[in-house]
Amino acid sequence: MDPWRSAIVDAGPSHIRVRGHDVLELMQKASFTDLVFLLHHERLPSPAERRILDAILIGSADHGAGAPSCAAARLAASGNRQSVSAAVAAGVLTIGDEHGGAGSGCMELIATGLERSQRDGLPLDAVAGGMVDDVKAAKQRLPGFGHRVHSTIDPRVAVIFGLAEEGGLAGDGIRMARALEAALRDRGTPVPLNIDGALAAVLHDMGFPPRMGSLLFIIARVAGISAEVLEEYTREKPMRIKIPVEYDGVAPENV
Amino acid sequence: MDPWRSAIVDAGPSHIRVRGHDVLELMQKASFTDLVFLLHHERLPSPAERRILDAILIGSADHGAGAPSCAAARLAASGNRQSVSAAVAAGVLTIGDEHGGAGSGCMELIATGLERSQRDGLPLDAVAGGMVDDVKAAKQRLPGFGHRVHSTIDPRVAVIFGLAEEGGLAGDGIRMARALEAALRDRGTPVPLNIDGALAAVLHDMGFPPRMGSLLFIIARVAGISAEVLEEYTREKPMRIKIPVEYDGVAPENV
Amino acid sequence: MDPWRSAIVDAGPSHIRVRGHDVLELMQKASFTDLVFLLHHERLPSPAERRILDAILIGSADHGAGAPSCAAARLAASGNRQSVSAAVAAGVLTIGDEHGGAGSGCMELIATGLERSQRDGLPLDAVAGGMVDDVKAAKQRLPGFGHRVHSTIDPRVAVIFGLAEEGGLAGDGIRMARALEAALRDRGTPVPLNIDGALAAVLHDMGFPPRMGSLLFIIARVAGISAEVLEEYTREKPMRIKIPVEYDGVAPENV
Amino acid sequence: MDPWRSAIVDAGPSHIRVRGHDVLELMQKASFTDLVFLLHHERLPSPAERRILDAILIGSADHGAGAPSCAAARLAASGNRQSVSAAVAAGVLTIGDEHGGAGSGCMELIATGLERSQRDGLPLDAVAGGMVDDVKAAKQRLPGFGHRVHSTIDPRVAVIFGLAEEGGLAGDGIRMARALEAALRDRGTPVPLNIDGALAAVLHDMGFPPRMGSLLFIIARVAGISAEVLEEYTREKPMRIKIPVEYDGVAPENV
């Protein structure tokens, strides 16, 4: 088998380097958030980029034991006490298009809008209007806008955008997201950017590809899942969790 | 990298063979249960062995959506609609020492007891008595005996042992399991063999190693998990599952 | 939390029933393949349906340790000896659109073609021609046709279709698949149905929904993954697997 | 179903708090490493504790695409392009006793040694000598000491211990680890503390329970796995990975 090729880590017998940076030096000077940036971006972040990435990771890490990611991890920790990694992985597997995936969906939307504006020489509000019209015609929803439960604005959005402003990082991504928000409002659907949309806009402006939305959510959420698994192991008895179920299928006499 | 070596499958450009048997012939004549046996055992089963293996696989496949294995799979299907394999894997990960793992634990117990009897020239009831005394002194439980909820005998046990008798397969494994059951009763703990213990005894008598207890449970349960995942995808909305949680940790004012 | 509702299993204190069938009776009379059918279909299979389902499960169970599903499971068994379920799950997770997923893709194609024929009152060959034209215009491939490596016909295809003919099960699914194959040939792309396409056609004719293609592959492949994991545990040392990698990224001096 | 109880996160309609700390404030002031500490420890870290935790997370995040964790994730990304979480989870599942688990094993060793010293009123070197004698008699190895490949000292060990000294965090954990190292040397087995042993000692001194060794490795490694998955998706074709295998089992003529 030919060796695989990779541009991320060079681990020789006497050194480990991440994208050319010596790990021993990073261990002494950098933060883990710096390394998350470097692993996915080819350079270290600026202080403003680090601050926003910390905010995103902190805001996504854990919303409680009842979220699908943490609940599935606790179910695995309840039945399988042999391996903490099995429980963490069970939690990770609940993360997808419907849970933690809206950031990636919105990043694709933003990238598409900006490409269209560039290609057709149209202003962002015209592009955004067309995209919203298409989505409304197809009776779909825009990922990153609105909320399953709340109609008010998620306060984490203001924090993320505030940090982007302060750090001088607001760019085309945030402009495109705002244009989509305005187009929704103008067309009678005043659904604000939610936290997934906010971080999508900012991640775009920091130069990350769309899949980074889901990957960052996973990196963040694994910290919360890990804490939930540790609590399940130390505080609860195995197999304590029983979900109540009612059978409503075919009756024995009708088989 | 040197090639890996394996004695299971030979897949050449013009053939696929499982332990020397041509897959095209197996596809036309054998059952999937035969193949499960062959993959793990180096030969095809006798009709009696096939009958028991079918019974074990059917008896373990699904006990309802609320079991940890199926519930975790449904949580993953609820949050991540991108990949059915992610949902199935989340279910598999709940299977371990506490859920589906007692069969392996009891197979190790049986193997240990039989080795001890052989090595020390002791009858099975003497060995079993010593093992039960040890376990009671350590305030532990014997895997494969008793039930978390019921005190009555699981009717699946009678079916498994009946098939083993009919098929002439009952051997040292069942004898050792019965000796342990008798020793428990004689020492004032009348806990009967449960379904995990019954299948452990029979799997031992068919020549499988202890890990086969857990692996067979996984093979069987994946069929049930798959059906639960299909129902979740087709019948339920994404993110419908919310587990209620109460916070009982440190209050904000005490931070 | 309200109870979940499910039409698959009714597990009461004194009974377990799968879609109304008593598990104790199934354990004595049915095969595991019957149960796989029943769990996903609401009834037991006919003898001809059982024969084909056995053939599909046997033909998909294992193609050797080097396939992504089995290789990933062995990597997990090599690093994590605490939990066989972790290793099996790692193998399952490699199954998707590119590995084991073409059956589901082809089932969607067949269902789409038949709906279009029904809706527009067109014969199957006209519909198939249009679909192939669309796919060729988009420079895409039809899932279930052709092979990554071989240009010859997979002999498993003949076995599957032979069993369908013998059993009187060949229906619209096989007709639609054959129409697509002919349309490809007529348009200068003579790629035959592969094994994924053959099982897609037959599963459609047995009444299964498209997702069943992937789910059946998972059920089948878990048997092979399990055998590979057992061999890795019993025959190999932990951490034996090292994949050779060459770094081709930025050099330290260019950081 | 009664609500679950948890002391980690309180997520109400208008707030999210981690162990009493407001998430909006943490997003603006704390680092992700602070949050990892807080989620598992009930308080925020001191600056010295944050520095060491950053060093541990950075030093464990990625050692290259060929490590089992990253290789399994790439295999999953190669076969299943539908879900990045499936690929990340496949990587996590390789982490266990043999890969990334030595930290937890060494933390248990340290905790056992310190309890024994306390209980029996013995100095650490006497306890360490007894523990090493026991392990050598059982022909086992001490987790956290020595290296599979290198006989020289891992330079990351010096960095971790240097930071612990600087930060005034060195305590009983490091003393116990050093006593074990000395006992090994005095008994003719001069195997130094490795990186797993170093972080085990320091994590003990920061007040974490033994399972934290594995959990921190998982949190760190998920960042590297994520980067490897992103590279596999963006740079490689699906199904490019084929592991070479040689069949050495029973021949067809001997079946």
Residues 107-126 on C with a CB inside 8 Å of B are none
What is the C-alpha separation between C84 and C73, in angstroms, rounded?
A: 9
| Closest CA in chain C for residue B161 | C28
Residue for token pair 């029943």: C38
- The angle subtended at Cα D251 by Cα D247 and Cα D255, nearest 5°, is 130
Mutation target to probe the D interface, by most D beta carbons within 10 A, among A60, A83, A92 is A92
Is A246 an 8 Å CB contact of chain C? yes
Q: Is the Cβ pair B58, C30 closer than 8 Å?
A: yes
pLDDT in tens, A243-252: 999 999 999 9
What is the pLDDT, as a whole number, of residue A148? 57
Is A137 an 8 Å CB contact of chain C? no
| Closest CA in chain C for residue A10 | C247
Q: Is the Cβ pair B86, C93 closer than 8 Å?
A: yes
What is the pLDDT, as a whole number, of residue C154? 83
Is B240 an 8 Å CB contact of chain D? no
What is the pLDDT, as a whole number, of residue B149? 55
Q: Chain A closest CA to C251's CA: distance in Å? A: 5
Bridging pattern class, strands D9-12 and D15-18: antiparallel
Q: Chain B closest CA to A65's CA: distance in Å? A: 7
Q: Is the Cβ pair A9, D54 closer than 8 Å?
A: no
Q: Is the Cβ pair D212, A230 closer than 8 Å?
A: yes
pLDDT > 90? residue A135: yes
- The angle subtended at Cα D119 by Cα D117 and Cα D124, nearest 5°, is 5
Task: Identify the chains in contact with D, defined as 3+ C-beta pairs within 8 A.
Answer: A, B, C
Q: Chain D closest CA to C103's CA: distance in Å? A: 14
Q: Is the Cβ pair D90, C95 closer than 8 Å?
A: no
What is the C-alpha separation between C213 and C40, in angstroms, rounded?
A: 12
What is the pLDDT, as a whole number, of residue B152? 66
Which of chain B's residues have a Cβ under 8 Å away from the Cβ of C150? 13
Contact status, residue D171 vs residue D52, Cβ threshold 8 Å: no
pLDDT in tens, C115-153: 999 999 999 999 999 999 999 999 998 999 986 555 567
Q: Is the Cβ pair A224, D9 closer than 8 Å?
A: yes
When CB atoms are compared, the residue of B24, B31, B220 closest to C156 is B24
C-beta atoms surrounding A2 within 10 Å: 7
Q: Chain D closest CA to A204's CA: distance in Å? A: 16
Which of chain D's residues have a Cβ under 8 Å away from the Cβ of C217? none
Task: Identify the chains in contact with B, defined as 3+ C-beta pairs within 8 A.
Answer: A, C, D
Task: Return averaged pLDDT per consecutive 10 residues of chain D, 255 residues in all.
Answer: 94 93 97 98 96 97 96 97 97 95 94 97 97 94 78 83 95 97 93 92 97 97 98 96 94 92
Q: Chain B closest CA to C255's CA: distance in Å? A: 31
Q: Is the Cβ pair C17, A80 closer than 8 Å?
A: no
Contact status, residue C95 vs residue C254, Cβ threshold 8 Å: no
Is D141 an 8 Å CB contact of chain C? no
Residue D218's Cα: distance from chain center in Å? 7
Q: Is the Cβ pair B247, D19 closer than 8 Å?
A: no
Mutation target to probe the C interface, by most C beta carbons within 10 A, among A83, A94, A246 is A83
pLDDT > 60? residue A122: yes
Q: Chain B closest CA to A176's CA: distance in Å? A: 27
Q: Is the Cβ pair D31, A33 closer than 8 Å?
A: yes
When CB atoms are compared, the residue of C79, C86, C98 closest to D80 is C98
Q: Chain D closest CA to C71's CA: distance in Å? A: 7
What is the C-alpha separation between D165 and B164, in angstroms, rounded?
A: 66
Is D78 an 8 Å CB contact of chain C? yes
Mean pLDDT of chain A: 94
Structure tokens at D105: 């094993």
pTM score over 0.95: yes
The ipTM assigned to this model is 0.96
Q: How far, in Å, are A247, B54, B93, C54 from residue B48 at the CA level?
A: 34, 10, 32, 19
When CB atoms are compared, the residue of C4, C22, C248 closest to A7 is C248
Residue A99 phi/psi, 5-degree rounding, is: -135, 105
| Closest CA in chain C for residue B212 | C230
Contact status, residue C212 vs residue C204, Cβ threshold 8 Å: no
Which of chain C's residues have a Cβ under 8 Å away from the Cβ of D101? 80, 82
Positions of chain B with pLDDT lower than 70, given as ranges: 147-152
Which of chain C's residues have a Cβ under 8 Å away from the Cβ of B230? 40, 209, 211-212, 215
Q: Chain C closest CA to D147's CA: distance in Å? A: 13
Is A242 an 8 Å CB contact of chain C? no
Q: Is the Cβ pair C3, A85 closer than 8 Å?
A: no
Q: Chain D closest CA to C99's CA: distance in Å? A: 5
Would you give the end-to-end CA distance of chain C in angstroms? 55
One-letter identity of residue D167: G
pLDDT in tens, B194-212: 989 999 999 999 999 999 9
- Extract long-range pairs of B133-139: CB within 8 Å, 24+ residues apart: B133/B187, B136/B187, B136/B189
> What are B17's strand-pairing partners?
B10, B22
Rounded-to-10 torsion of CA B197, B202, B203, B205: 130
Residues 6+ apart with CB under 8 A from D74: A4, D65, D87, D228, D229, D232, D236, D241
Q: Chain D closest CA to B90's CA: distance in Å? A: 9
Which of chain D's residues have a Cβ under 8 Å away from the Cβ of A231? 6-8
Which of chain A's residues have a Cβ under 8 Å away from the Cβ of B71? 75, 241, 243
What is the C-alpha separation between C183 and C202, in angstroms, rounded?
A: 19
C-beta atoms surrounding C90 within 10 Å: 39
pLDDT > 60? residue A151: no
Residue A146 pLDDT grade (very low, low, confident, very high; cuts 50, 70, 90): confident
Task: Give the DSSP H/E element, type plus range, for residue A20.
Answer: none
pLDDT > 90? residue A150: no
